[in-house]
Amino acid sequence: MFADWWRKAHKQATKEKRKGPNTLIILGAWILSKHRNSCVFEGAQPNIQKILSNF
């Protein structure tokens, strides 16, 4: 689902306006993945405020 949404958003943007949103999407996905791994493998508690501050 995420990949489909990203593909649609990418196609709708003009070539000049793709770089910024793509960077934000990749950064957001990386931060979420890193936080999820911290919760799963290190026992951290899910924390939306921490995710938002990292973003």
Total residue length of the chain: 55
The answer to whether residues 50 and 35 touch, using CB atoms and an 8 Å cutoff, is yes
Question: How high is the pLDDT of residue 14?
Answer: 74
The predicted-structure confidence for 10-55, as pLDDT tens digits, reads as follows 778 777 777 788 888 889 999 999 999 999 999 999 999 999 998 8
Residue 1 has pLDDT above 90, yes or no: no
Rounded to an integer, what distance in angstroms lies between the CA atom of residue 35 and that of residue 9? 24
* pTM, entire model: 0.70
Rounded to an integer, what distance in angstroms lies between the CA atom of residue 36 and that of residue 46? 8
